[in-house]
Structure 1
Amino acid sequence: MEIHYLFGVLVVSFLAVTILFRSKAKKMITDNKVASAPVASTALAAPVDGSPEGADIIIVGAGVAGSALAYTLAKDGRNVHVIERDLTEPDRIVGELLHPAGYLKLVELGLQDCVEDIDAQRVLGYAFFRDGNATKLPYPLQKFASDVAGRSFHNGRFIQRMREKVSSLPNAQLEQGTVNTLLEENGTVKGVIYKTKTNGQELIKKAYAPLTIICDGCFSNLRRTLCSPKIDVPSCFVGMVLENCKLPFPNHGHVIFADPSLILFYPIGSTEVRCMVDVPGQKIPSVVNGEMTNYLKTVVASQLPPELYGPFIRAIEKGNIRSHPNRSMPAVPYPTPGALLLGDALNMRHPLTGAGMTVALCDIVILRNLLKPLQDLHDASSICKYLESFYTLRMPVAFTINMIAGAMHKVFSGSPDKVRNEMRRIILGYLNLAGVFSAGPISLLSGLSPQPLIGIVIHLFAGTIYAVFSLIAPFPSPNRIWILACVIFDGCRIIFPIVKAESGKFSFQQWFQLITGLPTM
């Protein structure tokens, strides 16, 4: 108890200093807020009826990001042309969990009804399982309206509802076609070349607009013209649906810390639970020859809570086992006049935390707010320069969620060494302190934290203090001090490469300004 008391005093002192520093910073920059906000040039403010070709904006892809963006921009009065490879209902095993912050963005965009009438389930938090012990981490939703919570659902049903909303607007054109090439002229993207079918005949068409936004997902074939993608595939998800299964904690996502990696369960319907088994590496056991069935039954099943064992075995025997590569890719785009990347085409993180749709919807709100005051999008160079602020404004939420997803997967992917086991024990022990020590991290993971960069610094600092106390108090020994040093070193080896990759071209001065709120010199 004395150790926890002293630990609490140190953390509270640090919080007080941080809050005081932030208050001072805000006071210093109050007079400069208007001057520092991105403002369109006079040339961009001139009224225009739309491009001669009819569309103000072309959107490639009508998944979650593309559909939400199309509806948002069309509702703001833009003429939007959406080109989607396949307009039939998608059947995917990812994109099924929306955090509360993502739901709040749906409300802000007027799309909250897209999670209605699709048997979507409310999600109130997470439950972590390790060595037979469970830790429940509810979302901190006390300050929000009663309807605010996470949502989980069939991805295809959600996307179709959004596509219906897009089609309901007269200034939005939704067309099935495959975009293969961007139309460029003197380094500026003018539109796209795409293939489509009319009366069974394949046609190659051109579409023009002053701005083209690429939202063609994780397998984007256009991103290479707008960035240098550094894609990592650390693992694959193997997914199946459990029917008539009751979760130990209703309306919660369940994370089982197993060997060799994590297992996820979350509801996607009133009688259906999605199971995702994380399999390290890119080569997984074959589903066709029965290797996967054997792996799931002999390696995975025995590590599940008793309530889930029976439904898990029945789902395996029923078949329909599917897999999906887990990709991560930092956002490092080339500023390209006339074009912009968005969604998984721009940035991916390990789907362990289910935060991809939340990041995409947060990005859409930022982009909508930047584009809203602009009446003319034809000055491509000026627009490109103006939209560089998009990457800065998205950084607090996107960076925080991406870092947590990457670090969490690396820490909790089964590794037998003693140091990694100590790290897991420390993290779960920290979360078990409850109060701000659990609410803070879960608000960061779910996008609810109002100041995510400050929050992640605070919890990294507090977690380090907790590690010191849990490993060497009350009586330090050379062995304990050595283990502590190894834990801190291993933590740095995990976090620093993620920070470096996600930072992209951000300078130290930009990070300093984002975290502290102080203007750079």
Structure 2
Amino acid sequence: DDRGDRGGNNNNKNPICGVTYRPKGGEEDQGELVTVRAHLTIVCDGMYSSLRKNLVKDPKIELPSFFVGLLLKDEGKDRILPFPNHGHVVLADPSPILFYPISSTETRCLIDIKAKKLPRVSTGELAKYLTERVAPQVPDQLREPFLAAVKEGRVRSMQNKLMPAEVFTCDGALMLGDAFNMRHPLTGGGMTVALHDSKLLCDMLSHLKSFEHKRSTTLATKAFHTERKPWAATINTLANALYKVFCRTGEEWNEEMQSACFDYLSLGGMYSQGPISLLGGLNPRPFVLVAHFFMVALYGIGRLLKPFPTPKGLLIGCQLLMGAIAIILPIIKAEGIVRVFAPFLIGETRKGFGARQRTTAAAPSLDKKKKTR
């Protein structure tokens, strides 16, 4: 258990020298604190991070919904998923449901519940909600296993969190994973971002012989926030935007946007390959994401105006366009417009900082030569 205070002071004023924690179990479970010191501390204690507050002041965390998880079993029958070995998204009311296989006989179901407070499990409110509200919207071949899983009672839940990555500099400490950056888990992009971030940090730190000199470590990784943006912002924006599109608002433009999204992917070719490559982190280009997002919107508007424009079609088309802008603009703004689309304006690149480090390191030797003369 890494809960507790870390070594050093708050708000990045002093270098971090390690963590202080109270372990679970063992002889030290009687309230004694243990201090572990290190030249470099990497904070990756998840979405419920207790160490984040010591590195980032007032992180902006949103709580849009809950995920309720069920485990569906096929009981030796035919595969219960309509398309075996594929993930499935059900556009339910008011928010989406996910089904995906986790073994040859088991399917994970994640129900998104858009609420500030989850229905109580102890009173049966959650089971009633799943049975009466969600089950009728589940595909026929999945309904029986779904109800069986609800009746079994092995329901798990978690609160979904959104948190843009805050730019911070702290000698002796770095952050990774959900402790650092969170997006809606609808697309399952969290591990992709975390692995990309880990690879980037490994590359940035590879030339250092040790982490003993904390300032050198900080300079070596100072470009991290800018260089991670292409893939991180692409996956974050896609996840959060898709979630907002897939949540029903009861407005006609929203239903048209959902329908246009599915039909756009059904066109195949670049219309499906592009979004899928963005979804898998294979195409870290924010411009491509924005282009596809508005191509979906324009595709939906075009259908509304066929075979010829009508006042109602024009009105819904305008609402759809404005709705699309209202969805994606705040998400990109939270990620940082300049860092996402014009990182060269910031000037934080590994090449730039490498040159700066070499210049700084060379200066003392020049001074020494002058003194010798």
**TM-score normalised to the size of structure 1?**
0.62
Partner residue, 1:188? 15
Partner residue, 1:200? 27
Q: Where do 5+ consecutive residues of structure 2 fail to align?
A: 353-373
Measure the CA separation in 1 of the matches of 2:275 and 2:230.
Answer: 15
Deviation at 1:312, TM superposition (A): 0.6
Measure the CA separation in 2 of the matches of 1:292 and 1:423.
Answer: 30
CA distance 1:265–1:199, shift in 2 (3 Å): closer
Measure the CA separation in 2 of the matches of 1:306 and 1:190.
Answer: 57
- Output aligned runs, 1:232-247, within 5 Å: 232-244=62-74, 246-247=80-81
- Output aligned runs, 1:53-132, within 5 Å: 85=1
Per-residue CA deviations over 1:336-369 (Å, capped at 9, x if unaligned) read 1111111000001111111111111111111111
Given candidates 218, 222, 227, the residue that maps to 2:51 is 222
- Output aligned runs, 1:271-286, within 5 Å: 271-286=105-120
**Number of corresponding residues:** 338
Whether 2:329 is the aligned partner of 1:496: answer: yes
Secondary structure of 2:240's counterpart equals: helix
Q: What is the CA RMSD across the aligned residues, in angstroms? A: 2.2
CA contact (8 A) 1:355 1:446 kept: yes
Partner residue, 1:455? 288
Secondary structure of 2:161's counterpart equals: strand
CA distance 1:507–1:446, shift in 2 (3 Å): closer
Secondary structure of 2:260's counterpart equals: helix
Amino acid paired to 1:476: P
Secondary structure of 1:459's counterpart equals: helix
CA distance 1:216–1:504, shift in 2 (3 Å): farther
Measure the CA separation in 2 of the matches of 1:304 and 1:197.
Answer: 42
Partner residue, 1:292? 126
Find runs of 4+ consecutive structure 1 residues off by over 4 angstroms: 511-514
Secondary structure of 1:206's counterpart equals: strand
Partner residue, 2:248? 414
Amino acid paired to 2:38: A
Amino acid paired to 1:181: D
Measure the CA separation in 2 of the matches of 1:179 and 1:236.
Answer: 24
Partner residue, 1:380? 214
CA contact (8 A) 1:332 1:504 kept: no
Deviation at 1:305, TM superposition (A): 1.2
Given candidates 197, 211, 223, the residue that maps to 2:40 is 211
Whether 2:173 is the aligned partner of 1:339: answer: yes
CA distance 1:249–1:508, shift in 2 (3 Å): closer
CA distance 1:252–1:188, shift in 2 (3 Å): same
Larger RCO, structure (CA 8 Å, separation 6 or more)? 1
**TM-score normalised to the size of structure 2?**
0.85
Partner residue, 2:188? 354
| Greater Cα offset, 425-434 or 484-493 | 425-434
Amino acid paired to 2:124: G
CA distance 1:197–1:430, shift in 2 (3 Å): closer
Measure the CA separation in 2 of the matches of 1:199 and 1:483.
Answer: 64
Given candidates 199, 204, 212, the residue that maps to 1:370 is 204
Measure the CA separation in 1 of the matches of 2:341 and 2:102.
Answer: 42
Q: Which has the higher strand share?
A: 1
Partner residue, 1:24? none
Whether 2:309 is the aligned partner of 1:485: answer: no
